[in-house]
């Protein structure tokens, strides 16, 4: 059990390539501002993440990855 817990702690969500991040958001009909509001971040954070200039950390990474998954499902 301990090893399974340790393994899950070190698992990081991976993000799609920047161009796909943009495509997923747009396909779901969201603007950068709308996605930012959903995630509780500034629109410029979304712009940086989509351009690949920055990567969200901690829970923001998980939330952003989950939002992109939801964008896949929305299409």
Give 47-58 pLDDT, tens digit per residue.
999 999 999 998
Q: List, in sequence order, the alpha helices (H) in 1-75.
A: 2-9, 18-27, 32-39, 43-51, 58-74
Q: What is the CATH number of the domain that holds 16?
A: 1.10.260.40
Check: pTM over 0.85? Answer yes or no: no
Domain count, the chain: 1
Domain of 45, in residue numbers: 2-74
Give 28-71 pLDDT, tens digit per residue.
999 999 999 999 999 999 999 999 999 999 889 999 999 999 99
**Among 37, 40, 38, 57, residue whose Cα is nearest residue 49:** 57
CA distance 35 to 17: 17
């Amino acid at each position: 059990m301990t090893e399974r817990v340790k393994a899950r702690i070190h698992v990081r969500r991976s993000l799609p390539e920047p161009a796909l991040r943009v495509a997923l958001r747009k396909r779901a009909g969201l603007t950068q501002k709308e996605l930012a509001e959903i995630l509780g971040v500034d629109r410029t954070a979304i712009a940086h993440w989509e351009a690949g200039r920055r990567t969200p950390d901690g829970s923001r990474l998980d939330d952003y990855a989950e939002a992109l998954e939801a964008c896949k499902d929305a299409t």
